[in-house]
Amino acid sequence: MNSMSKNKINRKNFIKKTALAVAAGTGILSCKPQSETKEDFPALITQKKYKWKMVTTWPPNFPVLGEACNYFAQWVEEMTGGQITINVYGGGELIPAMECFEAVSGGAAEIGSGASYYWAGRSPATQFFTSVPFGMNAQQMNSWLYAGGGQALWNELYADYNLVPFPAGNTGVQMAGWFNREINTIEDFKGLKMRMPGLGGKVIEKAGGSAVLSAGSEIYTNLERGVIDATEWIGPYHDYKMGFHKIAKYYYAPGWHETGSTLEVFFNKRLFDGLEPRLKAILETAAYRMNAWTLAEFEAKNNEYLQKLIHEENVELRQFSSDVLSQLKEFTNEMLDDITANDTASAKIYKSYDAFHKNIKQWASHSEKPYHNLL
């Protein structure tokens, strides 16, 4: 008898014994007065154990991003009392980084971590749940998702792929990236090969460049070898850790393309829906904690490492001119018109995003903007 057959028999025996125990317990309890059963016979509790795999787009144990996944696994195990244990795999350890979506959708892994714009090849609409160029910042994205209907739209979109998504981090406003050529006018983007995923990459293409999608672990080598001329990644902390300052001349701001990029954790829908409500609530709560922790860690580290880049590594920090930003914004509007005209899901989701953004900007114009102008 092979091990699979033995496992099946063991599972059947366990279920049979459990059912008999429940039946016996029910019979005994029915013979006792109600007051005595409450005091003398505690409820029979059985707990199914879950050993799940979490596949990620991030390099193994990568600062903040990979760390957050490890913390997520730790928090879930603690909150479930060991009922759910999660093994975390960095990009390439179990599957290639850019195959997480399919792996979780198909059930090869139970959980994935990444950014929704990586899956634009499956549906262009996924990109709106990470970031829109010249769009909302981190707290505005959280507001749209948690309180403005964004999460319901995200659930609806991912349900078609047998997935359940949750916000699980935010980078805050990113840097515009590392370049081996100066960008003084919009013409300087022509012919530029730049690693940039998501909607920002579409804008680069409209400006005459080429957008390249590659996993984080491949960026340094591609930039060093000239496969790409420029790259965006995240911000000073991670850019320093990746060593981009050693192989690129110019560091540009601001991150017009990613003004508050939401990261995600997603579950196989069939498996998630099959959990008892308590366990679902724990997984969602761990995602909330992951969302808050990640943004806090980014904010804490980025200024520290920006100073290192400037004062210790002598990096030349540049800012795009207002003319360059203005023309990138025009290309952004054209790109959004193209996507929403040709994809029904994108049109529906962007309608919600855009309406929320326009409304919340009114509040920001009276709160954060005047305050920051004083600094």
Query: Is 205 exposed, middle or buried, given 0-12, 13-18 or 19+ CB atoms closer than 10 A?
Result: middle
Question: Do 272 and 230 share a structural domain?
Answer: no
Least confident of 22-36, 67-81, 153-167, 346-360: 22-36
Is residue 53 over pLDDT 80?
yes
pLDDT tens per residue across span 195-216: 998 899 999 999 999 999 887 7
Positive or negative, the Cα torsion across 96, 99, 104, 106? negative
32 within a domain of the structure (yes/no): no
Question: Do 336 and 219 share a structural domain?
Answer: yes
Q: How confident is the model at residue 7 (pLDDT cuts 50, 70, 90)?
A: very low
Question: Do 88 and 198 share a structural domain?
Answer: no
265 within a domain of the structure (yes/no): yes
Question: Do 335 and 290 share a structural domain?
Answer: no
| DSSP labels, 327-346 | HHHHHHHHHHHHHHHH-HHH
Across the strands, what pairs with 210? Answer: 193
Average pLDDT over residues 213-241: 91
Question: Do 232 and 281 share a structural domain?
Answer: no
368 within a domain of the structure (yes/no): no
CATH number assigned to the domain comprising residue 109: 3.40.190.170
Distance CA 199, CA 203 (A): 7
Q: Among 268, 283, 299, where does a domain finish?
A: 299
Across the strands, what pairs with 164? Answer: 267
Domain extent, residue 182, equals 177-259+302-343
Rounded (5°) CA angle 265-130-296: 70
Average pLDDT over residues 143-169: 98
Average pLDDT over residues 93-114: 97
Average pLDDT over residues 312-341: 96
Question: Do 130 and 232 share a structural domain?
Answer: no
Question: Do 312 and 277 share a structural domain?
Answer: no
**Is-contact 253 318, C-beta < 8 A?**
yes
Question: Do 203 and 95 share a structural domain?
Answer: no
Is residue 147 over pLDDT 50?
yes
Question: Do 331 and 206 share a structural domain?
Answer: yes
284: its two tokens: 């969602």
19 within a domain of the structure (yes/no): no
- Residue 21 has a pLDDT of 38
Helix (H) or strand (E) holding 29: helix 3-30
Q: How many domains does the chain divide into? A: 2
Average pLDDT over residues 233-238: 94
CATH number assigned to the domain comprising residue 235: 3.40.190.10
Question: Do 141 and 90 share a structural domain?
Answer: yes
Is residue 13 over pLDDT 70?
no
- Residue 374 has a pLDDT of 86
Average pLDDT over residues 280-306: 97
- Residue 325 has a pLDDT of 97
- Residue 27 has a pLDDT of 38
315: left (phi over 0), alpha (psi -120 to 50) or beta: beta
Is residue 264 over pLDDT 70?
yes
- The pTM score is 0.84
